[in-house]
Structure 1
Amino acid sequence: MSQLQWNTIDYNSLKTDPNISVKIAQEIERLSWIKSPFQNFTGKGGDRGVRAFDVQNDQPFRPRLKSKLTGDGIEGNADLETNYDDFEILNQTIYPKVVGNALRSPIHQYSTMRHIDFVKEATDSLAEWAQDKRDRALVCALCNDFTNAVICDQANGFKDTKSKKSITTETKTIKAGDTMNVKAIRRAIFMARSGISFDGGEAFPLKPIKADTKTEGGLTIMHHSYIIMLDSYQANQLKADREWVEMQKYAGDRGDKNRIFTGLLGIIDGCPVLDMGIWTKMQVGMPSSSVSDDEFKKNLNALNTPKITPPSEYAGAQPVSFGALIGASALVLAGSQKVNFYIDDTEDAGRKVVCGVDRLLAIAKGRFALESGSLSPFSNQDFAVIGLLSSRE
């Protein structure tokens, strides 16, 4: 989407031309994604980490996925009707709601800005708010109530959780020194590819995110990977890990020829590692156990989140940092394609201008169940998320 040319807009056209409001709404949408760390893996395809769906109203919405066919089929002269497969649909129900915000200008006599300047500044601020509102909801949904996880361990890289049933019970054993490391990340990647659960049992492989297509030696290769998301504490811990330091010695070319040195934290087993920052009041980032329960819960829609497990429940004596491995459809985002922009110059007897935005939005972690209601390996399980939990130090 091209950038809006503000110098072509005058204040009178804002009041008389409805297309201008549409263009400003598109600009707010563009700006809300331009700095979002989720932009590159959000889309409508089934191979996106954040699966987006368009909805037109606030009625319950049911995103669906096709389950893999598992029948044996037939052989030889056997009739097809003797062994029909089961066509099963996975779905979950989410509930969109309208979210919005507005700004009001000072009175004309006290403002040194012309109206169009206020509208432009309001557009920037409302776009930043829209990004913050959406991305905080995405992060909270991602880190809420992990059903599969890897817990870091100072001695062995990750804790042995075979036969352990409760993730929150085991994370309470995290102590100083249990920091993020290459071995723990590789364990999460192995669990995702092999379909291994937290307790060592059989789960289901996580569908990877489509990355890119490469042609080498005349052979076209589709490269798929998971994405590793760490907070800044975990990112710094990883950089200090001896195995990570050793890997960088053999990373190949430096500069823009190697992705490791162009903004990504690095690549482990073909999976990009991202520093997602730290959650504060001023910025969106990965949460930790120090985030208050109220702050966490207010970014979740309880209708879309049957069980809320705030970060504080994962910590014992030592604060805990949150990271995650995500695959395709890890998160579900449903809403209107763009924000709605409103302008009202009749406020306070015409002395002030109000600019506002709203949109339909529903965000949830992907947890799909069979449409038939039958139990399956996916029931009440994170569809494409594995938590990465370590000491916050």
Structure 2
Amino acid sequence: MIHYLQEPLLLENRGVTIRNRFMKSAMSEGMASRSNTPAEDLIRLYKRWSEGGAGLIVSGNVMVTRDALGEPGNVVLEDSGSMDAFRRWAKAGKKEGNEFWMQINHPGKQVVRGLVKEGQAPSAVPFPAGFQKFFAPSRALTKAGIEEIIYRFKRTAALAKEAGFTGVQIHAAHGYLISQFLSPRHNIREDEWGGSIENRSRFLKEIYRAVRAEVGEDYPIGVKINSADFMKDGFTEEESLYVIRTLEDLGVDLVEISGGTYEKAVMTGKQSEKSKREAYFLEYADTLKNQTSLPVAVTGGFRTKKGMIEAVRSGSADMIGLARPLAVDPDIPQKILREEMDDITIPSIKTGIPPVDKAGMMEVMWYSQQLHRMGRGKATKPCFSPKLSMLLALWKNGTGVFQKRRA
């Protein structure tokens, strides 16, 4: 059975072959230098992931402008001033011959209070009060502002290619700016950028067109998109299917399916809809695969070799996206391919303090600490006590550790 995961995946539009069906999905590392360039620990971390055997590695989100930071430690690529660091990052992340794509992103109004003065959004619609307190106030983008951000995406993509990344992934999920444009909850514009799903998806389509024109016809471009927002008045499955069919017509090479936003964190499994199958979004992927031949990666919830093989064998997923498991054991892909591992289940990270555990704050911090260990060249600590993790975080960062952080 194992050959389903070993089988290469050809991206027919570009003639690029990914050597196996494992994808290291994006996680926010928070490991940039003070100048928002790749720090040595980040470069070392991606070298380690390359050695782990995944056919495709996707970076954590790289912001397209320094004026819009989602959280502390974000990498930014907006000009050619620090290309040496990006070249070394690209070289490390593809060390073992795997594909290494840069995920490019703009946070929109999901910008942590204190990092920037204000966020940018399709419309000046605030988050609910309890959530908005973590974020800076936002303003609606002008048409000129929209065009400027489209330019920023294509500029970052061109620089990623120049640095040696083998592709880019446009982040259109999880409530960031493109996701905000797709959502009728956050996009109430009455011009050509809002209203119908055709108009709300225009921002994503124009970003793709601009990036494609900049990087050329031989360079892979993927898109990460929600199956749905799972919120009242949010982006729906029907709209998601429409957008992905449009992306296929435009020539996108790989779509990664996720779901939810940081208001409704379905992608972490905390608030996911019940599924009859192992991964969170496989039922949606089945529906999608009946309507498109576009290669699809599914991320979230895979915990057994059997479940991964069945997803690929059945045609539900072309690639198996893994994120948090690779923060604990970066060698999972090669262990599974060598038939040395069948189960990758990780026990829940619980401190025993109900308000902390309910919010999931320390779980994110625990995984972040594992990434930082790998970045320092150390082994991960899968059995590290969540309570000790919390104390360590408080000692290093104070109570600021309890601010909203990305999964």
TM-score w.r.t. length of structure 1 = 0.26
Question: Which structure has greater strand proportion?
Answer: 1
Highest Rg: 1 or 2?
A: 1
The TM-score with structure 2 as length reference comes to 0.25
> Which one scores higher on RCO, CA 8 angstroms, separation ≥ 6?
1
Q: In proportion to residue count, which structure has more helix?
A: 2
